[in-house]
Amino acid sequence: MPVAIAMIADQSWMSALVVFLLAGISDGIDGFLARTFDLRSELGAYLDALADKALLISIYVALAVVGVLPASIAIFVVARDIMIMGAVVVSWVMHKPVEIRPLLISKLNTTAQIAFAGLVLAAKAFGWALGMWFGIALVIVAALTVMSGGAYLAQWYRHMSA
């Protein structure tokens, strides 16, 4: 992950794309092996999710810092995860731990965020114009990020109010 961020900062787009793709492939292989050989653990699930979030947040922030993405999308991505983590911590402090299960909107959001980051890196690597597709995809990712965060916070609020 730090390698991809350094490559984005250096605007070594092809290298950043390759590292991003390798990270995704290795994550997929890791998940496949864990499921196939029943090597899943609660700690592993948390660490995998944390690594995925760290990669996405880092990529979005780095792309915003170099001016490829608007800062607002990086803020949405980071704020969503901070709000969800904050809600979980508050529930623990109040002795009402909440179980966070992936929601369909969250899976769509993660898929859209990964695809968009990959497309942006590919566009920069291959010299493609960030035309109309970029604006449309940006709006979709922003909307899914906000909806996903809202869905989790609504679920948390119902839990805490019960």
Domains of the chain: 2-161 (1.20.120)
CA 5 – CA 11 distance, rounded (Å): 9
Confidence band for 45, pLDDT divided at 50, 70 and 90: confident
Question: Both tokens of residue 8?
Answer: 């984005």
CB contact set of 13 (below 8 Å; sequence gap of 6+): 7, 121, 124, 125
Residue range 108-144, pLDDT digits in tens: 999 999 999 999 999 999 999 999 999 999 999 999 9
Helix axes 104-126, 42-65, angle to 10 degrees: 40
Residue range 15-29, pLDDT digits in tens: 999 999 999 999 889
Residues of the chain above pLDDT 70, percent:
99
Confidence band for 1, pLDDT divided at 50, 70 and 90: low
DSSP reduced 3-state for 69:
coil
Question: Cα-flanking dihedrals φ and ψ of residue 101, to 5°?
Answer: -110, 145
User: What is the pLDDT at residue 72?
Assistant: 98
Q: Does 70 score more than 90 pLDDT?
A: yes
Please check whether residue 45 is in contact with residue 110, taking contact to mean a CB–CB distance below 8 angstroms: no
Span 47-68, mean pLDDT?
93
